[in-house]
Amino acid sequence: MKARTALWVPVAVGLLLSACSNQSTSTSDQSSSEESPIDMELSTQTAASIQANPATTQSDSDILRLNQALAENEAELQRLASLLDDKDSQIAQLQSSTSNAEVLLDLESEKTQRDILEARYQALQLENNQLKDKIQQLSTENTALNEQLAQLASESSQSEQWQQNYLLALDEKQSLQQQVSQLHQQNRILARELAEAREEHQLLREQYNQLSNAPSESNVLEQAQAKQITSLQNSIADYQARIRRQEMALKDYRSQVIALEGAIDGHADMEARWLAMDQKLATAQANNARLAQQLASAQASLNEKNQQVSDLNEALVKLKNDLGVLENDTISLQAESHSMDLQLASSMQTVNWQLPNEMALNDTFEILVTATVAQPVLGQSYEAELITDSEIQMISNSKVKANVEGGQLQWRWRVAGLNENPEAELNLLIRQQLSFKNQAIQRLVYQDSQSLALINTNLFEKYGYWAIAILLGLLGGFLIGRIGKGKAPAQVS
């Protein structure tokens, strides 16, 4: 699209200059038509026998309108000068801002619009200068005409020569008035063109404001990635707090187990006492019934305690199993956290492009990009995306993944040129593939752009049509000459 715009701009400027030159010619003729009625009015006033022509009033009004048109042209010149200053300031702002594809397109558009406005300004200034020169020339001619009319008025009022000159002057006045009307029409056309230029400038100003207020896509991606990393760090802190709580609960369970083991030892002492009491029961027949009851109650209590001990042992086994699971989860979480820290610590050091400075259209060529990674992680992958202009055709996939091997990365693309462009732009985006809990996270780590020239080497496509047209013209001339030579002898005979 840029190449087509560059081709149409000179044609449009040439048409505008030709239109302005035609307009200046008609304006000059009109100014001459505005000056001559005044001289004719002076000549008619000096002649006593001829009444004043009613068209002199119209002549004066036409002269006033011509002066107003000149004043309007001067005002338009000042307005175009201010527009050119605004365009220069906008171009300076775009050149000082960060260079990317959209900014470069806007800069090119602003330069094109500025060239069009400058061409209009120069054409209008040239037209006004020509109009002033023509008015000066007509003033000189009017002075000479006044002298001639005064000389004619001093002669006989009944002279036929004087009457003929007067009629000729009237005819000249009518023709000049027609030229004045044509000049007014041309000035109205110029006013419409200047109004269109104002609307075009307003649209460009609104597009530039929208471009300056639009957020950068790379900043949005970086903010989203920062939010993801913050969320991961919060989840890691949550897991660490849960591990500390489980360790505290494990300590409580261990203290309870120690207390239960002490209680079991106390029950063993009680069993020894019960054996001694049984021996005493054997010797004390009188206390047999009472001791039997005590023994039954003690046996029931023992069974209950044994059941409690069994339950506590099962709880202890379950707690130990839970502790083992938590320790395994902690180890895996620490490993994931350590892996994430290593991935975040790696960064891009140097990125090298290998591409030609210029290429012929419709030829396929390869773009090679290599990079060096600082603190690389084995097996980590990086995804590179190549974004091209519309003049370049992507043959391979625009997104290519590469794994780190020896701290080096390499990506390849195959592209072809479609349209001729001296500065075709290539934008490169490299994203790091982060892995956390089997989830892939992309992080933008590098962004760059390069340009190359696309040249049309097909001479037939450039000059073939012109050569065919020239040959056809020569052939037509030759045939016409042959036909003319064949007719000439026939006419002689």
Pair 340, 320: CB distance under 8 Å: no
Residues 293 and 359 in one domain: no
Highest mean pLDDT among 88-102, 242-256, 258-272, 439-453: 439-453
Residues 148 and 235 in one domain: no
CA distance 316 to 318: 5
Tell me, what's the pLDDT at 322? 81
Count Cβ atoms below 10 Å from residue 435 Cβ, excluding itself: 16
Residues 238 and 298 in one domain: yes
Pair 43, 152: CB distance under 8 Å: yes
Residues 232 and 372 in one domain: no
The mean pLDDT of 147-172, rounded to a whole number, is 63
Highest mean pLDDT among 31-40, 270-279, 479-488: 479-488
Lowest-confidence segment of 52-56, 106-110, 282-286 by average pLDDT: 52-56
Q: What letter would DSSP give residue 285? A: S
Pair 454, 359: CB distance under 8 Å: yes
Structural domain including 481 reads 463-493
Residues 353 and 368 in one domain: yes
Tell me, what's the pLDDT at 149? 64
Q: How many domains does the chain divide into?
A: 4
Which structure tokens are listed for 329? 């989860």
The residues pairing with 372 across neighbouring beta strands, listed in sequence order, are: 350, 408
Of the three residues 185, 214, 243, the one that is the final residue of a domain is 214
The CA-based angle 147-153-159, given to 5 degrees, is 125
Residues 303 and 359 in one domain: no
Residue type, 152: L
**pLDDT tens column, 306-359:** 788 888 888 888 888 888 887 777 777 777 777 778 778 788 888 999 888 777
Residue keyed to tokens 């929208």? 210
Residues 67 and 171 in one domain: yes
pLDDT band for 20, please (50, 70, 90 cuts). very low
The residue ranking higher by pLDDT, 257 or 347, is 347
Q: Residue 424's closest CA among 395, 446, 392, 448?
A: 392
CA distance 463 to 467: 6
Residues 208 and 270 in one domain: no
The CA-based angle 231-237-239, given to 5 degrees, is 105
CA distance 21 to 9: 18
Residues 392 and 329 in one domain: no
CATH label of the domain that carries residue 419: 2.60.40.10
CA distance 127 to 183: 12
pLDDT band for 436, please (50, 70, 90 cuts). confident
CA distance 83 to 89: 10
Distant-in-sequence contacts of 123-126, Cβ < 8 A, 24+ apart: 123/16, 123/17, 123/20, 123/21, 124/20, 124/73, 124/76, 124/77, 124/80, 124/190, 125/77, 126/20, 126/21, 126/24
Residue type, 267: H
CA distance 289 to 342: 79
Residues 333 and 408 in one domain: no
Left if phi > 0, otherwise alpha if psi is -120 to 50, otherwise beta: which for 438? left
Q: Please report the beta strands in 316-398, taking only residues with DSSP state E, as ranges in sequence order.
A: 347-354, 358-360, 364-374, 381-388, 392-394
Residue type, 492: V
CA dihedral 39, 40, 45, 50 (to 10 degrees): 170
Angstrom distances, CA of residue 341 to CA of 207, 345, 376, 445: 44, 6, 12, 16
Count Cβ atoms below 10 Å from residue 386 Cβ, excluding itself: 22
Of the three residues 158, 188, 214, the one that is the final residue of a domain is 214
Three-state secondary structure call for residue 10: helix
Count Cβ atoms below 10 Å from residue 21 Cβ, excluding itself: 14
Q: Residue 432's closest CA among 410, 401, 469?
A: 401
Residues 263 and 171 in one domain: no
Whether 296 has a pLDDT exceeding 90, the answer reads no
Residue keyed to tokens 């519309």? 390
Computed on alpha carbons and rounded to an integer, the radius of gyration of the chain in Å comes to 51
Residues 439 and 399 in one domain: yes
Portion of the chain with pLDDT greater than 70, in percent? 53
Tell me, what's the pLDDT at 267? 55
Of the three residues 287, 315, 345, the one that is the final residue of a domain is 345
